[in-house]
């Protein structure tokens, strides 16, 4: 974990609660990108052209960086190239803004070729308007003249433009390749559950809790999983649980495609666990849920949605009920939980189990032979064995997905 300090400049007269929410979101994003937030700094003023915050505040920030040994300073406000240069010169460490942090997260989470291209495209679009000034700052010591600065500036910008065109062309001809991964995981007997919701809703805390409480199956498959996917079993059913970046507020338009490409995991899931922060005001919850529905519309292929109403430990019961009544029309299969205290987790797991893709029951009779014994072992791997009796033949009651049941159809004992 790398140490970082988060900084936010608030406009005077801006809503205090809104400012706090934005800073909490930035901290959550920093955490998602593997930073440990060791300090934060807030200033209320109009933007400074050179530093974004005031000059005195930047000097204070430099002292804080030194004292806390921070490697990075992350601003919640968009920074110009000059501001990044000036702040990093003063603080003697790397400086980035919110958008660069988000791009860093997207780059780390992009698994498919298409997603990687989308992220690279967003990076280039972010860099394009800054291209000239980046070169100017880098070549400050060089004098303009024959083949001087002008040439450098233009060629770098041209280079970015060419790369943007190339990626756009490639994206037009590429198709989504995650379907095969989904099929592979289904063939291994896993059902896919994806966590979705806004940053700071408590997705990662819930993810850790569910994974810790669930029995982790063999590590054999982890080579095919991203660091944010873990396998667990709920009532003997194997589930792959994926934590996602989360929905982010106020995304610039050029970042939307890259953002959506990171959501492929959600759109491929059998079930979506939508996490909602119940401590938000009702209007904010409603707005966030409506946007979530908009994101899911026509993309989830009929996946079941379960809504985990999180952070219930922060509110009294009557207030919770009031909020639930106001948002119930936007919350499919709601469950009240607290990922911190563990309250409601058992109920959530039972609901997840109930909503998993249906497995079929079957009574079968397998001949007692070497081949029959290896089939028993295979059935233990692929499904749930409810009962087994060894006699002249092996009588089993099993529960498994349809493909497995079809393969042992010939051994089925008719119920008549």
Which among 20, 59, 62 has a CA at the least distance from the CA of 42?
20
The residue written with tokens 């700071």 in the block is 200
CB of 82 to other proteins, least distance (A): 38
Angle between helices 113-127 and 149-173 (to 10 degrees): 150
**Phi, then psi, of 41 in degrees rounded to 5:** -140, 135
Size of the site for other proteins (CB under 8 A): 14
The residue written with tokens 């982010």 in the block is 248
* Residue 333 annotated in ligand binding: no
Angle between helices 81-91 and 55-68 (to 10 degrees): 50
* Residue 223 annotated in ligand binding: yes
Measured from the CB atom, the residue of 286 and 407 that comes closer to other proteins is 286
Which one of 65, 96, 117, 289 is in contact with other proteins (CB under 8 A)?
A: 289
Whole-number Å distance between alpha carbons of 295 and 287: 13
* Residue 197 annotated in ligand binding: yes
Greatest Cα pair distance in the chain: 95
CB of 293 to other proteins, least distance (A): 5
* Residue 270 annotated in ligand binding: no
Interface with other proteins in residues 228-287 (CB under 8 A): 286
Which one of 24, 138, 290, 326 is in contact with other proteins (CB under 8 A)?
A: 290
- Tokens for 87, please give them: 């702040």
* Residue 342 annotated in ligand binding: no
Whole-number Å distance between alpha carbons of 81 and 131: 9
Whole-number Å distance between alpha carbons of 141 and 155: 19
The piece of 7-15, 17-25, 291-299, 345-353 that touches other proteins (CB under 8 A) is 291-299
264 touches 215 (CB < 8 A): no
Binding mask 207-226 for other proteins (x = CB under 8 A): --------------------
* Residue 14 annotated in ligand binding: no
Which among 40, 28, 77, 22 has a CA at the least distance from the CA of 199?
28
Can you list the alpha helix ranges (DSSP code H) found in 94-148? Answer: 98-109, 113-127, 131-138
Measured from the CB atom, the residue of 61 and 271 that comes closer to other proteins is 271
Measured from the CB atom, the residue of 30 and 275 that comes closer to other proteins is 275
* Residue 150 annotated in ligand binding: no
CB of 294 to other proteins, least distance (A): 8
Whole-number Å distance between alpha carbons of 124 and 109: 18
* Residue 202 annotated in ligand binding: yes
Measured from the CB atom, the residue of 298 and 409 that comes closer to other proteins is 298
Which residues, 6 or more positions from 64, have their beta carbon under 8 angstroms from its beta carbon?
5, 39, 41, 70
CB of 204 to other proteins, least distance (A): 25
359 touches 386 (CB < 8 A): no
Measured from the CB atom, the residue of 161 and 293 that comes closer to other proteins is 293
Phi-psi region for residue 361, left (φ > 0), alpha (ψ -120 to 50) or beta?
beta
* Residue 304 annotated in ligand binding: no
* Residue 154 annotated in ligand binding: no
* Residue 244 annotated in ligand binding: yes
Chain centroid to CA 72: 22
Which one of 85, 126, 296, 359 is in contact with other proteins (CB under 8 A)?
A: 296
Measured from the CB atom, the residue of 80 and 333 that comes closer to other proteins is 333
CB of 324 to other proteins, least distance (A): 12
CB of 332 to other proteins, least distance (A): 4
CB of 288 to other proteins, least distance (A): 11
Whole-number Å distance between alpha carbons of 208 and 349: 14
CB of 273 to other proteins, least distance (A): 14
* Residue 40 annotated in ligand binding: no
Measured from the CB atom, the residue of 99 and 296 that comes closer to other proteins is 296
CB of 334 to other proteins, least distance (A): 8
Whole-number Å distance between alpha carbons of 144 and 208: 56
Report DSSP state, residue 145.
S
- Tokens for 64, please give them: 């804080």
Interface with other proteins in residues 300-339 (CB under 8 A): 305, 307, 328-333
Annotated binding site for GTP: 197-204, 222-226, 243-246, 310-313
Annotated binding site: 197-204, 222-226, 243-246, 310-313
Q: Which residues bind other proteins (CB under 8 A)?
A: 286, 289-290, 293, 296-297, 305, 307, 328-333
Annotated binding site for Mg(2+): 204, 224
């Amino acid at each position: 974990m790398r140490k970082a300090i988060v900084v936010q400049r608030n406009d005077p007269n801006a809503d205090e609660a809104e400012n706090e929410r934005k800073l909490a979101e930035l901290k959550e994003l920093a955490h998602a990108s593997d930073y440990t937030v060791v300090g934060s700094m807030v200033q209320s003023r109009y933007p400074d052209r050179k530093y974004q915050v005031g000059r005195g505040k930047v000097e204070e920030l430099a002292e804080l960086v030194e004292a806390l040994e921070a490697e990075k300073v992350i601003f919640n406000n968009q920074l110009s190239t000059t501001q990044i240069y000036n702040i990093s010169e003063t603080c003697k460490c790397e400086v980035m803004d919110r958008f660069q942090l988000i791009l860093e997260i997207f780059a780390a989470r992009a698994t498919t070729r298409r997603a990687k291209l989308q992220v690279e495209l967003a990076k280039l679009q972010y860099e394009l308007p800054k291209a000239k000034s980046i070169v100017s700052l880098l070549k400050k010591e060089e004098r303009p003249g024959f083949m001087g600065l002008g040439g450098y500036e233009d060629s770098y910008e041209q280079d970015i433009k060419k790369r943007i065109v190339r990626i756009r062309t490639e994206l037009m001809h590429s198709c989504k390749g995650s379907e095969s991964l989904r099929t592979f995981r289904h063939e291994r007997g896993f059902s896919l559950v994806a966590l979705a919701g806004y940053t700071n809703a408590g997705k990662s805390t819930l993810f850790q809790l569910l994974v810790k409480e669930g029995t982790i199956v063999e590590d054999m498959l982890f080579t095919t999983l991203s660091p944010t996917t873990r396998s667990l079993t709920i009532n003997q059913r194997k589930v792959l649980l994926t934590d996602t970046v989360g929905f982010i507020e106020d995304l610039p338009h050029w970042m939307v495609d890259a953002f959506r490409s990171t959501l492929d995991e959600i759109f491929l899931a059998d079930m979506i666990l939508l996490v909602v922060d119940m401590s938000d005001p009702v209007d904010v919850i409603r707005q966030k849920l409506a946007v979530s529905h908009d994101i899911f519309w026509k993309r989830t292929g009929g996946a079941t949605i379960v809504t985990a109403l999180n952070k219930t430990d922060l509110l009294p019961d009557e207030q919770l009920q009031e909020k639930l009544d106001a948002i119930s029309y936007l919350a499919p299969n709601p469950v009240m939980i607290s990922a911190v205290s563990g309250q409601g987790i058992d109920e959530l797991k039972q609901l997840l189990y109930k909503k998993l893709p249906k497995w079929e029951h079957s009574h079968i009779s397998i001949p007692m032979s070497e081949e029959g014994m290896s089939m028993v072992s295979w059935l233990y791997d692929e499904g749930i064995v409810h009962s087994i009796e060894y006699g002249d033949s092996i009588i089993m009651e099993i529960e498994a997905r349809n493909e497995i049941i079809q393969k042992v159809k010939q051994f089925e004992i008719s119920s008549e």
